[in-house]
A and B are shown apart, each in its own frame.
Chain A
Amino acid sequence: MADRRKKTKIVDSYVTLQAAQRRAQDRPVPTPSEADSAATRPDTSPRKPGTHIGRTVMPTKYEIVCYSCDFMFKITGKAKNTYCPKCRTMLDLADHTITGVCTDELVTAGRVTLSSSAVLDGGRITANDVKLEGTVKSGHLQVHHTLELTEGAVIPEEMIHTRNLKIAAGASISFKRKAVFRDVDVFGEFRANLWAEGLVTVHPGGHLKGKLHASHFTVLEGGGLTADVIVEPKKPQPQTTPSPADKDAHEDKR
């Protein structure tokens, strides 16, 4: 890490702007007489050799799941479309907001927001992320990455097909069936028999109730937990080095 910092010789606009602002805040505006004397005075402050700023503003990375082959990859920054690196399908990354009754088919690798007045009735939505504020009556809702359930969300449990789940602040969601997801973020109230393969995070203001079975679990200060909990991180599998006999057998096969 330290070596990387030494090698970096980047001063970008963001850092320059920050430095200028800091300088402006720190120094009082000099009077004309002070300014004149400062101009004649030689700069005696030692200059630090090799002082470089190794910080750049990196564009955000987004996780995209191909709706054709389910391959997950990351893209940097915003784009209108991209190709799946695995199956070469061109993926539409456009975001959509639905405000009325949806009976059509919508396929995107972007984000779909079903607003509070939206009703999915017989339509078919496939998206990377879905924010549900409205109602899902019938049809098909396939979420490849994260489904966010907000305060007004109404959706039958059996219609939830998502990898990750987010319970928004203010929402109060109850699941009767066993709920299986990868990552779960709880900002609101969530009552479920939850089985998570990834990380469950209870954020400040969030409350998880019911049963929890996960390997990774985090409660941030201010989060609530009223549940029967089984949290056991999976132990890493010991790497078995092949014995000399195995190696010989392998070579013989070749």
Chain B
Amino acid sequence: MSELISTPRILTPHLDSFTSRTVRLIGKVVQLRGDQATIDCSGNVTALLNRDAHLTVGHAVEIVGKVNNDLTVKVLSATDLGREGGIDFEAVNAVVDATHRYKEIFYSTD
């Protein structure tokens, strides 16, 4: 099925412009408190976890989730990416930059 359901890659500063959209955030797990987690994606963001999400502090994680109006993110799925040292965050941020600079190949705006 060729559907166009995009989940743009963003960083914390972009949350504003993506409320009620499903996005992708890649960051470091800073803190876990019950069903909430603080993720650092060029700035801290609060993620509201679902039951399947297994995060580890000090690991990098990719979150697909919906941005709430209060700029928290309701996690739909979370992928552990291993220890944060294994991830080149400069490359990750470059991808986010490219995503929004050349959005024609990354997501549609409607």
Specify whether A and B are partners: no
